[in-house]
Amino acid sequence: MTTQPAPKISIALCTYNGKDHVEAFLKSLIEQKRQPDELIICDDNSTDTTPDLIRHFASISSFPIRTYFHANRLGVQQNFDFAIRHCQGQIIMLADQDDYWQPSKIELLETTFLEKQAVAVFSDAEVVDKELRPLGYGMWETCNFRASEQAALLQNNDGTECLLRHYIVTGATLAFKRSLVDVISPIPKNWPHDAWIALLATGYGPITFRKEKLILYRQHGNNIVGGLKKSLWKDIKKGLHIKRTDIYSEEIDRLQKLITRARDKRLKPSFIFHAEEKLKFYIRRKALPSNRLSRLAPIFRDFHGGYYKRFTRNIGSLFIDLLQP
């Protein structure tokens, strides 16, 4: 009986003015049952003591660390793109400076890659306050990653429709094979890096997940993407105060970039088909007439055709289209 050799694992950590939390994150790496084979740290021109903390950790770490300190800010997407391209491992795991990893995170994700023929694996995350105290729910609950969606994804290892419906993958829970790098890089500036990577992964090959909450996702008021729960009514109220045509123009641009990349990299035809269907749906939503009564017929057609169910997070999107000025 032969056993698979352990893959080399790289962690891509991006930092910016993270002095309050980065030490705790680095401590969680030391406590990993399975140590990483390398840690790539890319600091985006921090103005606090983050670079000093990184240099100190690099000098005492038991595993290899390569550091890059940018003289000019790249921004989140480009900094992660840079870090990912400098990883040498067969498996790349993304990391945020303000989270805390459970000791079994690397070990369990590695086990999943060895057991499954997946190109990407992600997990749930425990939402915590700034002192790492649990708030009583996970990230999947905040983004409404339902049991039915989980079962469907596990059954066919294809998250295309689920990920086109809503963003369910938190970057710091995501791991993917290095073979995906040529597909995802460069990451567009108007795409959240984790959503971009996870979506293209579904077009490239099978993806899967673990149900465990493998990181503590810290809420401290400065998160780029928050993890606080919002009710359907709050979602609708927020949507009513956003200019619908601007939001849809941005989403249309993102989808066009996604489809172009998918075609260029010859990803699965089914992935391209679903992405194009969503693009057409958003073009129709943007073109809804200003008169609310005149919107009823086109909205009903898309509702009856299942487009709101396939491509929006919840029924609140229909009410936003109906009620917005």
Question: Is-contact 112 231, C-beta < 8 A?
Answer: no
pLDDT at 223: 44
3-state secondary structure 197-223: HHHHHHHHCCEEEEEEEEEEEECCCCC
Would you say the pTM of this structure is higher than 0.85?
yes
Q: For residue 43, what are the CA distances in angstroms to 18, 37, 71, 73, 176?
A: 9, 20, 9, 9, 22
CA angle centred on 82, ends 176 and 69, rounded to 5°: 130
**pLDDT per residue as tens digits for the range 186-222:** 999 999 999 999 999 999 999 999 999 999 999 866 5
Taking all residues of the chain, what is their mean pLDDT, rounded to a whole number? 92
Closest C-alpha among 141, 138, 318 to residue 240: 318
Element (H, E) at 238: helix 232-240
Q: How confident is the model at residue 266 (pLDDT cuts 50, 70, 90)?
A: very high
**pLDDT per residue as tens digits for the range 267-325:** 999 999 999 999 999 999 999 999 999 999 999 999 999 999 999 988 888 988 998 87
**pLDDT per residue as tens digits for the range 300-310:** 999 999 999 99
pLDDT at 157: 80
CA angle centred on 260, ends 255 and 261, rounded to 5°: 100
Contacts 24+ apart (CB under 8 A), 264-273: 265/182, 265/183, 265/200, 265/203, 265/204, 267/183, 267/200, 267/203, 267/204, 268/160, 268/203, 268/204, 270/158, 270/160, 271/160, 271/202, 271/203, 272/203
Closest C-alpha among 275, 306, 307, 166 to residue 225: 166
CA angle centred on 105, ends 100 and 111, rounded to 5°: 170
